[in-house]
Chain A
Amino acid sequence: VKFVDEFRDAELGQALSTQILAELDPGRHYKVMEVCGGHTHSIYKYGIDDLLPSNVELVHGPGCPVCVIPMGRVDDGIAVAHNDGVIFTCFGDMLRVPGSEYTLLEAKAQGADVRMVYSPLDALRIARENPDREVVFFAIGFETTAPSTALTLKRAKAEGMKNFSCVCNHVTIVPPLRALLESPDLRLDGFIGPGHVCTIVGARPFEFIPADYGRPVVISGFEPLDILQSILMILRQLESGRCEVENQYKRVVPHEGNLRALEVMQEVFELRPHFEWRGLGFISQSALRLSEAYRDFDAEERFEVPNVRVADPKACQCGEVLKGVIKPWECKVFGTACTPEHAIGTCMVSPEGACAAYYNFGRYAREREAV
């Protein structure tokens, strides 16, 4: 497949690995954060960390959309789903995210009409097919996914749909990165930038990282060679004393992003004053809600929701994992009480979650042996 196969070449991967080893300072420890959950998944799926020298440490960032949803928001969704006549739709990953008492999947087992969709446009189609039912879409995701929700709501408005609404949980990536950079817990040397978010927002929103914090950012694709090359580009910046935003993923990411998508998002959404992130707490202007022009489609206005903050289970350390403070296998319940089949924390639910990636690709057994 073009754009895929050529970026999975094992020999080129080895060559990049050798080049990384040759160009770094063996006396220095490099800590690089991959911001996006898609990168975390690729890193463990393809064993990229095994190709890196021991003094290059990859730290997982907060860019898994499912992982950052706090329990209280799941409870809000479940409350909406239990309303008579509601068809509640969401992406498949969301079904298994634990609320304070149970998941959306368990709500479905109790009789709520909860349906998995691949796209918000599928939810809109269900609304067209069921004019006597209220159809609600539980929207999650970063700037990569927000345009699909925005486009769907634009279509719903144009069609005059009265039975369609949305619980908007869309978040933005820059505010949590700033929060992490301000955190005394974490010393990071550079960032692997989120390629698909940048497809929408472009490179400019990340320029504050080199400008204000003196750390390089390389916007990266998701194939193994993309990630290895991005790590090499970060190390080269560090070794040469440069500090800037570079774009390794030029075949997809234009510098200015997707202006049409940004325009649609601008019309449909506005920034929330603050939003709770799982493990990171409340972060100002870090999430989106529906703009005044689209307020009629806001399910939080249409239905009663508990809107209660719920603390994470004591045993769960998703917060520390999301901040890169601990590795997934260092969590007390990793692989024992918390597994992909019976997840306690969100990081074990989505394939993009760091814990699920570790668990699914065999890191679990190896790291335990090492301990």
Chain B
Amino acid sequence: MRVARTGGSMAWCEDGQGDGHEVAIELVMPVEVGDAVLVHAGVAIAQLGATL
């Protein structure tokens, strides 16, 4: 998923279809808008770097 906006330990992320999901990001912080993250059960478990 791609990080669309962040707020504290949560982020709003968009999947490949453009659908939005609320994701916990504290296991991969810091993340920035545009970063791709691997999300499992609502929690980002890996930071894949920028995609934009």
Contact = CB atoms under 8 A, between A and B. Distances in A.
Nearest to A5: B16
Nearest to A2: B51
Nearest to B43: A148
Contacts of A251: 48
A48 interface: no
A260 B24 CA distance: 13
A151 B16 CA distance: 25
Interface residues of A, number: 26
A119 B28 CA distance: 17
Given A2-B36, A258-B28, A260-B27, A196 B48 contact: no
B2 to A, nearest CB: 9
B43 A151 contact: yes
A119 B45 contact: no
A80 B26 CA distance: 31
Contacts of B16: 1, 4
A199 B41 contact: no
Interface in B9-52: 16, 24, 26-28, 36, 38, 40-43, 45-46, 48, 51
A264 B41 contact: no
Interface of B: 16, 24, 26-28, 36, 38, 40-43, 45-46, 48, 51
Contacts of A258: 27-28, 45-46
A196 B38 contact: yes
B40 A196 contact: yes
Given A119-B43, A251-B48, A147 B27 contact: yes
Contacts, number: 60
B20 to A, nearest CB: 13
A339 interface: no
A252 B46 contact: yes
Contact of A3 (B27, B36, B40): B36
A56 to B, nearest CB: 29
B42 A199 contact: no
A200 B38 CA distance: 11
A320 interface: no
B26 to A, nearest CB: 7
Given A1-B16, A2-B36, A199-B38, A144 B45 contact: yes
Contacts of B36: 2-3
Contacts of A121: 24, 42-43
Contacts of B46: 199, 252-253, 258
Contacts of A145: 40-41
Interface in A259-287: 260-261, 264
Given A118-B41, A119-B42, A120-B41, A151 B24 contact: yes
A324 interface: no
Nearest to B45: A199
Contacts of B40: 144-145, 147-148, 196
Given A251-B48, A258-B28, A148 B38 contact: no
Rank and list the top 6 A-B pairs by shortest CB-CB distance, nearest first: A119-B42, A148-B43, A148-B41, A1-B16, A119-B41, A199-B46
A226 interface: no
Contacts of B43: 119, 121, 147-148, 151
A122 interface: yes
A235 to B, nearest CB: 27
B29 to A, nearest CB: 8
A141 interface: yes
A121 B10 CA distance: 11
A145 B41 CA distance: 7
A119 B45 CA distance: 13
Nearest to A118: B42
Contacts of A196: 38, 40, 45
